[in-house]
Amino acid sequence: MAIFKQELTLEEFNPEIIMNSGQVFRMTYDKKTRVYEAKSGSREVLFYFNEKDDCFDFVCENFEFWKAYFDFDTDYGRINRQILLGEDAFLKKALDVSFGMRILRQDLFETIISYMISQNNNIPRIKKSINALCDYLSDGVAFPTYEVLASVPEAELSALAGLGYRAEYISLFCKGLAGGEFSLEDYHGLTYEVALEALMKHKGIGPKVANCIALYGLHIMDSYPIDTWMKKIIKEDYSQYDLKSYMDYLHGNYPRMEGYIQQLQFYYKRSLK
């Protein structure tokens, strides 16, 4: 373990907002120590704001991995300025309370399984299920491998993590990987449309989950996951549009920023509750 220092303002990197934006399920904050913890794939990192040096300290083994994970090479300030110069009032209000948001580059396999679990589910229970998988089928840090997930009987998988009917989807997907029917590598380097189509061939991955996987697992920024909250936003805050004309507006005015915009909108709308 070593400490890696990064000069980052809260406008560039705000862990509190990222943690509560619904894109990660294995990031926590300890109020007492003021330390954040993130786990992804088989790795973990601790980080905190160091007031003495006015920077963030990251405690981990391989900072290059986490640098990519947190997407520190992307300039979100440039995107933010574009939003502030635009005329989308709801989006500007959303950005006002969301500075420091970033789209994380998460582990693909973990993202696929996590968002399979997320369907028709609530965030606290999603976290509980994912942590149960890590605790019972791994060491509590690493996300379980597909080999292990494929080897556990479906009913047992469902019971140990409270997966309900979603256990079948996870089981099928992992057995496909273990049997060599397809590979995780197949999904890299694809365009948005091709990636969605390929992902949705799997049982349990529909349009919404596929968009989440494309955005968080493949960092395809054109992705725009529409869940119950986003439907509510389009209905209430973009009432001059129907779904199709809204999507045309979005793609036309904010190309390749849709995923980030969705994250700002989702976070803002839920924060009003």
Q: Which of 141, 148, 159, 190 binds DNA (CB under 7 A)?
A: 159
Nearest distance from C-beta of residue 151 to DNA, angstroms = 20
Strands of the chain (E only): list them.
2-6, 27-30, 35-40, 43-50, 55-60
Helix axes 258-271, 89-96, angle to 10 degrees: 70
Nearest distance from C-beta of residue 124 to DNA, angstroms = 4
- Both tokens assigned to 36: 């954040």
- Residue 263 within binding range of DNA, rule CB under 7 A: yes
Q: Which of 225, 250, 264, 268 binds DNA (CB under 7 A)?
A: 225
Nearest distance from C-beta of residue 242 to DNA, angstroms = 12
200 versus 247: smaller Cβ distance to DNA: 200
Asked whether the beta carbons of 214 and 226 are under 8 A apart, the reply is no
- Residue 208 within binding range of DNA, rule CB under 7 A: yes
- Both tokens assigned to 63: 């900072």
Q: Which stretch binds DNA (CB under 7 A): 39-47, 130-138, 163-171, 235-243?
A: 163-171
- Both tokens assigned to 140: 């509590």
Cβ neighbours of 124 (radius 10 Å): 9
Asked whether the beta carbons of 216 and 18 are under 8 A apart, the reply is no
- Both tokens assigned to 122: 């609530």
58 versus 267: smaller Cβ distance to DNA: 267
Nearest distance from C-beta of residue 59 to DNA, angstroms = 26
Binding site for DNA (CB under 7 A): 21-23, 118-126, 128, 158-159, 162-165, 200, 202-210, 212, 225-230, 262-263, 266
